[in-house]
Amino acid sequence: MKEKFEVIMAGSGGQGLIMSGIILAEAAILEGKNAVQTQSYGIASRGGFSQSEVIISGEEIIFQQVQQPDVVLALTEQAMEMYSCTDGKTPVFYDTTLLKTVTGDSLYGYPFTAMANNLGHTGTANIIALGAMAALTGMVKVESLATVLNRRFSGKTADLNIRALYTGVELVEK
């Protein structure tokens, strides 16, 4: 298993990417790893560019910005253009509901938003994507993500997010 993961999740404001980054970092910390999460976003609360960066490491993290991503989630065309031209080995996850299907090495397109609609809440697409990314890369255990979701949310909201997480896992296991 890889010792360090540098993750970029990019899209637009309102897609929950900042929250996804926080949840991912908390799951890593729960596993005894070091983690740092940074974020950047435009002035618009919804619709402007939004990005969350997470570094997970078993060792001390000196530089707190992603230098070479090991995993990318792109939820808009702009994000896809920015990050799909990595080294050809970096897994790039994207939403086939929102973006045109592209092919290439290490490109993983899944209908995150369509699956979220099937669950009854479009706002869970980010959690579905997080489940898929964790299941495919092993950057954190899916169970750790579930624990964080149960700590951050309660009642029906927690249940919905847990279902979304495991929906993402099922997508990559098919």
Q: Does residue 163 register a pLDDT over 90?
A: yes
- Count: domains in the chain: 1
Quote the domain boundaries for residue 94.
4-173
Q: Does residue 56 register a pLDDT over 90?
A: yes
Q: Does residue 6 register a pLDDT over 80?
A: yes
Q: What is the pLDDT of residues 57-83, one digit of tens each?
A: 999 999 989 999 999 999 988 888 888
Where residue 132 sits, what CATH number does that domain have? 3.40.920.10
Distance CA 112, CA 129 (A): 6
Q: Does residue 160 register a pLDDT over 80?
A: yes
**Helix, strand, coil proportions of the chain in percent (round to 5)?**
45, 20, 35
Q: Does residue 23 register a pLDDT over 90?
A: yes
Q: What is the pLDDT of residues 96-117, one digit of tens each?
A: 998 877 777 788 999 999 999 9
